[in-house]
Amino acid sequence: MATDGVKIIDGDTAYDTYSEIIDLYDSGESAESIRAKKPFPPEGYVDDFDYEVMVTAYAQAFWEIGFISDDIIAEVKRVIEAGACVKSWTEECGAKAGKARQKELDRLWTKINSPNPKIRKRKKYNKVTEFLFEVNDVLAFQSSCKAHYAIVLADMFRYRNICDYCFFITDYKGSLPPTIEQVRKSKVLGYKPPLSGNNIADALAGMFSAENIKNLEGFADMMNNMQKNFQEKMETETASQILLKLIDISHKELKKFVDKFDVIGKLNLDKTKIQLGSSQCISDFEELVNHFDNLEQHIEESNNRQLPADLKVTEEWFDIERLLRNQR
């Protein structure tokens, strides 16, 4: 079930649909322009459950900005009558949950059939425009025990008034600050994406009834061969992929200790080779230093966590040079 609750805006699918419309509205777009840019998803794009979630969130957003058309109302009516979410909630969580979803749908239906008496005002966000560092910057810093470390700004996440700096971790540790060449020759912390093709045979087998499977000569062998081929393909495709282990620091927090860093140069990173992985959020310099002073312990603890096989990854060191643009 791709939602967290029965409300109209309750889960990633609904929130993403709603936010895309509201963000365009806040940026000054007209409702007509937003509709042109954000039409209903095409038929068959998602299953019936998610389609209802998207359509109802879509209607909620347009009602809030004072724009409801006949086709939006008609589509909301159609998905409510189809009852995909009520059916799913009832089957998976009981009659009470199903009734709660229906109540939310009834409220939405009443709402969109009447003009909005209080149209949402456009919000203005104080976006960060003066950045502390640039992507590809190599930053050196020193811990309280006099060890020098290096991190590299791989990317920046910007949304509304939020600005986060995403650094990847190098294995440089020395008694002196690093040179840009030393960082270029160092290693980056990351992990290879987990393989998740182990259930393909089960997924395909689910398309057939048990009786049909019995009547298909060699069906099990066919499924096993397909799974083997899929696994080999996955292994080939992921062999060269690295997900970078990141340090995330917000602009607001980083400003407080920006003077602790020295920019020693830039790396010529190839964006097509950069894949951002999981991150550790850091809020102050002491936390950052502690993380690096105990980095090997953190890696060991992470690798020893008990996780399902399809979620298990191993953090390890990779040559930074494989992330750089090819020099000609």
Per-residue confidence of the chain (328 residues) as pLDDT tens digits?
A: 445 689 999 989 999 999 999 999 999 999 999 999 999 877 778 899 999 999 999 999 999 999 999 999 999 999 999 999 999 999 999 999 999 999 999 999 999 999 999 999 999 988 899 999 999 999 999 998 899 999 999 999 998 889 999 999 999 999 999 999 999 999 999 999 876 544 444 444 444 445 555 555 565 666 666 656 555 554 444 445 899 999 999 999 999 999 999 999 999 999 889 899 999 999 999 999 999 999 999 999 999 988 887 778 999 999 999 999 875 4
Number of domains in the chain: 3
Query: Are 61 and 189 found together in one domain?
Result: no
Is there a domain that residue 5 lies in? no
Within a domain: residue 45? yes
Farthest-apart Cα atoms in the chain, separation: 72
- Residues paired with residue 157 on neighbouring β-strands, in sequence order: 164
CA distance 10 to 105: 13
Same domain, 309 and 226: no
Can you give the pLDDT at residue 159?
Answer: 86
**Residue 57 counted as domain residue:** yes
pLDDT of residue 201: 47
CA triple 50-53-58, angle to 5 deg:
125
Domain of 22 in residue numbering reads as 12-112
For the four alpha carbons of 277, 2, 49 and 211, in that order, the dihedral sign comes to positive
Residue 81 shares a structural domain with residue 25: yes
Closest CA to 276 of 250, 234, 247, 251: 247
Q: Do 289 and 144 contact (CB within 8 A), yes or no?
A: yes
Let me know whether 173 and 251 are in one domain. Answer: yes
Q: Are residues 41 and 21 in the same domain?
A: yes
- Identify whether 51 is part of a domain: yes
Q: Do residues 20 and 167 both lie within one domain? A: no
Q: Is residue 328 part of a domain?
A: no
Quick check: is 40 in a domain? Answer: yes
Give the separation between CA 43 and CA 62, rounded to whole angstroms.
Answer: 20
Annotate 5-38 with b (16+ C-beta within 10 A) or e (fewer): ebbbbbbebbeebbbbbbbbbbeebebeebbeeb
